[in-house]
Amino acid sequence: MNKKYVWVIILLVIIVAIGGFLLLSNKANNKPAVKPATQTTKSNIQTEKVAVTSSGFEPKTITIKKGTRIIWTNKSGNTVTVNSDNHPTNLLWPFLNLGTFNNGSSVSVVFENTGKYTYHNYLNPDQKGIVIVN
C-alpha cells in the first residue's frame, strides 16, 4: 500500500475520533443543574399567556404557580424568539431557549420549579421578560 494512502487513512481515523470525543463531551456538559421545564400537552394544566409585540413582551413580568404553562404568542408582525438570559449565550435557563417563531404562531413551556426566570428576544435583546414561579 502506498505510504500516502496510509497517512490519509490515519488522518481520517484521528479526525473521526476527535469528532466523536467532542460530541460526547458536549452532551455531558449540557446537563441542566435543575429539573428543566417540560413541554406537554396535558389539558388540565393551568395556562397563562404572554404576547410578543413589536414593543416587547406583554406582560413583561408574570407571576405564576409551579406547574403552570406559559404560552408566548407572536403578535409582532415579525419573527421573534424566546431565549434564556444572558444574551448572547442564553445559558442561564436552557429550557427557555424556545427558538424562533413567526408572526401568529406560539411556543410554550411548563414551569415545574419555583424561581425567577429571565429571558429575552434574541433578535431584539432589549425586549426582556421575567417569569416568577411560586
Residue with C-alpha cell 414593543?
55
pLDDT on residue 37: 41
- Mean residue pLDDT of the chain comes to 83
Q: Region 92-111: what's the mean pLDDT?
A: 95
Q: Region 76-95: what's the mean pLDDT?
A: 94
Q: What is the pLDDT of residues 54-72, one digit of tens each?
A: 999 999 999 999 999 999 9
Query: Can you tell me the distance from the alpha carbon of 79 to that of 100, in angstroms, rounded to the nearest whole number?
Result: 6
* Residue 129: exposure state from Cβ atoms within 10 A (0-12, 13-18, ≥19): buried
Residue with C-alpha cell 449540557?
30
**In CATH, what is the architecture of 47-133?**
Sandwich (2.60)
pLDDT at 19 over 70: no
pLDDT on residue 77: 96
Q: Which of 125, 127, 132 is nearest to 53 (CA)?
A: 127
Query: Can you tell me the distance from the alpha carbon of 46 to that of 67, in angstroms, rounded to the nearest whole number?
Result: 7
